[in-house]
Amino acid sequence: MQSPREAARSDSKVIRFETPQTSESRMQLKDKVAVITGGDSGIGLASARLFLEEGANVILMSNNADTLHAARGQLGAKVVTIEADVTNANALVDAFTEAGRQFGHIDVLLASAGVVSPTPLDNTPSDLVECILRINVAGSFYTVQAALPHLRSGSSVILIGSVVATMGIGGFGIYAASKAGISGMARALASELTPKGIRVNTLVPGPTRTPIWNTIVQTETQLQELEKSLIRSIPIGRLNDAEEVAQAALFLASDYSSSMQAAEMVIDGGASRAPQGAPAYRQ
């Protein structure tokens, strides 16, 4: 049976994504090249660790040299780190050129760099609005744009959305808009890249334990109170672990998801699809 990249039939211009024959012992990303932006923290870091375990060559990109160094210390010397800011299109071109120079191509792109901040209507400055949109939306677009020359047929692009895009949470209008933009962008990019044999899908996490919460709360007590509040609206009664979201990223990165295109994988404990199962409705 053909692999996804071998299934591109140049004679008819039809791209077929087929699941390869595999054994349970085979590493899902063996010898694949994966680039993860925002891979120095949270979901990106958890995904990097899992991708390595599954046989991938992993490149981490971030604009923070210190956290990149710390991530490499955790993951080992095999990891390649490249400092780049996702809002700087020219810097990303240089970063992906270096990735291509080292490995020749890219098989998996996980664009997980992003920020979150409250943006209430009554006191949100314009520079914060522009910062969130620039990093989350423009940064994701620039990332795929810079990676494109190095993505080969059979590659998987994974963007990071959020359930906040559809849940109408007050005070987070700009973050919600940015993540709704990611979902729309992913569908458009999937249409554009299907003829090249490249898949584009979106992970849509609910609340997940990552350092990103430190941008919203200042103390451990505030974090605990926020978690208690959030858990009341989550049917399974807890937040995601970053490792759980990473498992979904692994599936989308692997050939096991070869028929998935323009899909959204929601990982939120049922909060957005089965809200009446949440503890708030059971008490």
* Backbone torsion region of residue 28, taken as left when φ is above 0, otherwise alpha when ψ lies between -120 and 50, otherwise beta: alpha
Of 13, 78, 142, 175, which is the active-site residue? 175
CATH T-level assignment (fold) for domain 28-212+240-273: Rossmann fold (3.40.50)
Rounded-to-integer distance, Cα 118 and Cα 236, Å = 25
Element (H, E) at 72: helix 65-75
Rounded-to-integer distance, Cα 199 and Cα 190, Å = 6
Domain extents in the chain: 28-212+240-273
The tens digit of pLDDT for each residue in 78-135 reads 999 999 999 999 999 999 999 999 999 999 999 999 999 999 999 999 999 999 999 9
Reduce the DSSP state of residue 135 to 3 states and report it. helix
Active site residue 175: yes
At 259, the pLDDT band (50, 70, 90 cuts) reads very high
Rounded-to-integer distance, Cα 283 and Cα 265, Å = 29
Active site residue 13: no
Contacts of 99 (CB under 8 A, 6+ apart): 33, 35, 59, 80, 82, 106, 150
What does pTM read for this prediction? Answer: 0.89
The tens digit of pLDDT for each residue in 133-168 reads 999 999 999 999 999 999 999 999 999 999 999 999
Helices (H), 104-163: 126-133, 139-147
The pLDDT of 34-59, averaged and rounded, is 97
Of 179, 228, 256, 281, which is the active-site residue? 179
At 283, the pLDDT band (50, 70, 90 cuts) reads low
Rounded-to-integer distance, Cα 238 and Cα 229, Å = 11
